[in-house]
Amino acid sequence: MLSVPVMAQQGISGNGGVDILGQNGGIFETEGSAFRFPEFQDTNAGSVTVGNDKALAFGNAWQKSPATFATNNLEIKKNQDSGVCTCCSSGNASCQDCCIKVNIDQIKIGSRESMAFGFASATNNAKIVTNQQ
Asked if 4 and 37 touch (Cβ cutoff 8 Å), the reply is yes
Please identify which residue in 29, 34, 35, 36 interacts with another protein, judged by CB under 8 A.
29
Q: Per CB under 8 A, does 59 bind another protein? A: yes
Least distance in Å: CB of 9 to another protein?
A: 20
- Burial of 103 per CB tally in 10 Å (0-12, 13-18, 19+): buried
Q: Does 3 bind another protein (CB under 8 A)?
A: no
**DSSP SS3 for 114:** strand
87's enclosing H/E stretch is none
Among 4, 14, 44, 90, binds another protein (CB under 8 A): 44
Positive or negative: CA dihedral 83, 89, 94, 100: positive
25 binds another protein (CB under 8 A): no
Q: Which residues bind another protein (CB under 8 A)?
A: 17-18, 20-22, 28-31, 39-60, 62-63, 67-83, 85-86, 88, 92, 94-97, 99, 106, 108, 110-111, 113, 118, 120, 122
